[in-house]
Amino acid sequence: MKVSLRNKIIIGVVAAFMIGFVSADQEYFFKINKGIDIYGRVYRELAVNYVDELDPDKLMRSGIDGMLGSLDPYTTFIGEEEGGEVDLLTTGKYGGIGITIGIRDGFVTVTSLMDGYAAQRQGLQVGDRILEIEGVSMIGAKPEQVRSLTRGEPGTIVHMKIEREGEQKTLEFAIVREEVRIKNISYTGFLGDGSDTAGSRRNAAGGLAYVRLDRFSRGAGDELRLALKDLQLKGTVRGLILDLRDNPGGLLDAAVDVVSKFVPQGSLVVTTRGREQGSEKKYLAKEEPLDKDVPLVVLVNRNSASASEIVAGAIQDLDRGVVLGTRTFGKGLVQTIEPLVYNTQLKITTARYYTPSGRSIQEVDYMHRGKDGLFETTPDSLKRQFETAGGRTVYEHGGITPDSVVTEREPSSLYRELLRKSLFFRFVTSLVAQQRDSSAKIPQDAFLLSEFKKFVADKGFSYEDPGEL
């Protein structure tokens, strides 16, 4: 069989093209293997021959952190001891005692108790200062150290020493750990419900409903479904406010599930694209909405990120509701958790996501730095326009810009100083301690303000306006 000159040329070009690809791949993987070899040899030389004895684990972790530090901040190494945080996100549960902690006035302090769990049942209270856990001092400890000691296998016991306002002696607790399920939704209700007699009568038949969604761990969509059905049983939902302020995000699937409660089945919610061709994946609303016509407002702020932005972006692009608040964080990257050896994992950014209109809302370009050493962002003049389903103009990058911008009030310097010194929290803790064995109602309004002023004065608080001369 004769091959024409034309076909010979085509075959030659294709062969050269394929050889070029193979050659490029070989060179790329050679560089990878070369890097692994060099890194391993440097690590071994340091661990064995450095003048002072080194901790091999810390040395390895420093090397990994340094390598990942050249990438985006969401690509991180997860050590064996940190795996519980991943389980919490993906399963929505952990073994613990059901408390939330924070640093108040230099002490690790209980800031809230989860209803029905061990800590609440056994008598811990908001405002309690944690002095010791399992004999380990918590003075100056970081929250992650406390979590590592309080969390563990359900059924095991954690011993704690507590200092409490109004108590002369330290208190000791032996609290049994149990499976704690994290709630994604912290509050639901009708606007004005119970505020006064007229408001109660008005909301007995329904009205404007409110749902506070704090995170997107496993089950967020199911919780929202139950919350909406519960509101519908209590009255007619004539409008809904979905509050995503300060919600840092979570699972992409959970965000899709939440959007599915409001938009027609089959609607495009979000698209992800990775590095390789053919990696594009479209996520569609997978069920009939609970109510596709009820007026919807999504509240966002600068701390609404990731999955929160997927929800806000889909609602905005599909013209399903109004996004209200301030511009969101601008995280348009998707992470995948890859298991490694020795119970370690790598959380790695594997894709970018795009809203239904096709825009990326990622603000920072982590692969490029300006002359000042800072990561680059896209100037407004270079941002491309996109259109919502109804033909409205929206822009890429820089987060989700609300349909209606409501600027948050900047707190005064006096307020920030009071907050920094935990005086609001300490005052309420003190007041509750005084009222604990009393049937008297907590004072309100002017009297409460007067008591607060006395409290901060007793604590030696003083303040000078930085603008005063």
**Is the C-alpha dihedral spanning 455, 457, 462, 464 positive or negative?**
positive
Alpha carbon distances (Å) from 295 to 292, 321, 355, 356, 401: 9, 6, 21, 20, 19
> What is the C-alpha separation between 326 and 113, in angstroms, rounded?
30
> What is the C-alpha separation between 331 and 348, in angstroms, rounded?
14
Question: Is 317 a known active-site residue?
Answer: yes
Question: Is 292 a known active-site residue?
Answer: no
**What is the token pair recorded at 130?**
């944690």
Q: Which of 193, 257, 317, 403 is catalytic?
A: 317
Alpha carbon distances (Å) from 309 to 217, 225, 272: 15, 20, 14
Taking phi over 0 as left and psi of -120 to 50 as alpha, with beta for the rest, 11 belongs to alpha
Pairing type for strands 345-354 and 76-78 reads antiparallel
CA-based nearest residue to 388, from 305, 267, 288, 272: 267
Q: Which of 267, 304, 306, 308 is catalytic?
A: 306
- SS3 category, 39: helix
DSSP letter assigned to residue 237: E
Q: Which of 214, 243, 267, 331 is catalytic?
A: 331
> What is the C-alpha separation between 88 and 199, in angstroms, rounded?
39
- SS3 category, 447: helix
CB-side exposure of 23: number of CA atoms within 13 Å?
6
Active site positions, annotated: 306, 317, 331
